[in-house]
């Protein structure tokens, strides 16, 4: 077993951070910022996703091999979105 795994304290801190970020993203959605609304919302969502993956899914303590397994689908998803956009945008 890995003793350095996060304990109760770290989980509670991550939980509080996730709640604060959720409140923040909902609050910002009531402010009209134009295009920046999307950017801010996605940045906050990605910050939350990183917290969940790093601490709750304990990616932080995993080997490079597991990191590879976790990041590969993100790469392919980006490829699919970019590839499809390059087609539909320039028709």
Partner 1 sequence: MSGRSTHHGPGAAGHEAHMDPTTAREAATLGIWTFLATEVLLFGGLFTAYVIFRIKYPQMFYEDHLELNRILGAVNTVVLICSSLTVALGIAAIRKGKVMLLRFYLFLTILLAATFLVIKYFEYMEDFSKGLYPSTDIFFSLYFMMTGLHAVHVTAGITALATMLVLAFRGRFSADYHTPVEVTGLYWHFVDLVWIYLLPLLYLVG
**29 and 42 in contact (C-beta within 8 Å)?**
no
Site for partner 1, residues 45 to 84, rule: CB under 8 A: 45, 48-49, 52-53, 55-57, 62-63, 65-66, 69-70, 72-74, 76-77, 80-81, 84
Report the nearest approach of partner 1 to the CB of residue 55 (Å).
8
Report the nearest approach of partner 1 to the CB of residue 29 (Å).
4
DSSP 63: -
Q: Can you list the pairs that 52-61 forms with residues at least 24 positions away whose Cβ atoms lie under 8 Å?
A: 52/14, 52/18, 55/6, 55/10, 55/11, 55/14, 56/11, 56/14, 58/5, 58/6, 60/6, 61/2, 61/4, 61/5, 61/6
Q: Which residues here bind partner 1, judged by CB under 8 A?
A: 1, 5-8, 11-12, 14-15, 18-19, 22, 25-26, 29, 37-38, 41-42, 44-45, 48-49, 52-53, 55-57, 62-63, 65-66, 69-70, 72-74, 76-77, 80-81, 84-85, 88-89
């Amino acid at each position: 077993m890995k003793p350095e795994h996060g304990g109760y304290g770290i989980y509670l801190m991550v939980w509080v951070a996730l709640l604060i970020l959720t409140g923040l993203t909902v609050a910002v959605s009531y402010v009209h910022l134009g295009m920046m609304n999307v950017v801010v919302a996605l940045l906050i969502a990605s910050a939350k996703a990183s917290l969940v993956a790093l601490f709750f899914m304990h990616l932080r303590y995993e080997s490079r091999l597991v990191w590879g397994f976790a990041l590969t689908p993100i790469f392919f998803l980006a490829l699919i979105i970019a590839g499809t956009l390059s087609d539909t945008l320039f028709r």
